[in-house]
Amino acid sequence: MRILLVEDNQRLSDSLRRNLTDDGYAVDAAYDGDEGEEMAEFTPYDLIILDVMLPRKDGLEVCRSLRNKRVRTPVLMLTARDTLTDRVTGLDSGADDYLIKPFEMDELRARLRALLRRDAEDKSSVLVIADLRLDPATHFVERGGQPLELTAREYSLLEYLMRNPNRLITRQMAENSLWSYDVNVASNVVDVYIRRLRRKVDDPFELKLIETVRGAGYRIRRP
């Protein structure tokens, strides 16, 4: 999952980015409203974390502008303003959720997971395909009742596939979702991680779930 973080406080931005990257998200950072709006307009993010008090253009203006441009990416707005009027204004600007500073990282994580579920066909907090189960809240993965030990990147790729069952995922789509812009990745990196996933998710089991679409990419098949 790829997230855009628009926060002008360098210390907070670095902390959030570090924590979210450790959670397996790909995170791009912007530090003012104009930069954040431009990045959100031209990059297909899964979610935007948007501070209200930003230089050059505040978060409310950015959110309204993005919605007017038909950018439908879910927006979680961050602010130190905690009055009812401020919360209503933030939601009316087009934000999907509103989190007041200071906040606990666990609450931010939970709100991100809730927003990512909104457009999913299956609203359950646990992703299930056949006997494969993935819990985004705990990062616990099992198949046939057997726990699977995955690296953070393997987990992120599997989650991306499971959130899009039966859908073709091209190599470019996977790269865009799993790696931020400032990371250089090898041309075959997605193929490498697919092979690693198959060894853990498919090889020990009779039913194979991860399919190769020759010349196009990959998909996980819901039987």
Residue where the block lists tokens 């431009």: 38
Which of 71, 92, 117 is a domain's end point? 117
Give the DSSP letter of residue 54.
-
Residues 25 and 102 in one domain: yes
| φ and ψ of 96, to 5 deg | -95, -25
Domains held by the chain: number: 2
Any bridge partners for residue 141, and if so which? 134
Instruction: Tell me, yes or no, whether 122 lies in a domain.
Output: no
Contacts of 186 (CB under 8 A, 6+ apart): 192
The model's pLDDT over 20-42, given as tens digits with 9 standing for 90+, comes to 988 888 899 999 999 999 999 99
Residues 110 and 169 in one domain: no
Residues 53 and 97 in one domain: yes
The model's pLDDT over 133-183, given as tens digits with 9 standing for 90+, comes to 999 888 899 999 999 999 988 999 999 999 899 999 999 888 888 887 766
pTM of the model: 0.75
Distance CA 120, CA 14 (A): 29
Distance CA 177, CA 68 (A): 24
Q: SS3 of 138, please?
A: coil
Domain with residue 87: its CATH number is 3.40.50.2300
Strand ordering across the sheet containing 127-129 = 127-129, 132-135, 140-143, 146-147
Whether 154 and 137 have beta carbons less than 8 Å apart is answered as no
The model's pLDDT over 46-64, given as tens digits with 9 standing for 90+, comes to 999 999 999 999 999 999 9
Whether 180 and 26 have beta carbons less than 8 Å apart is answered as yes
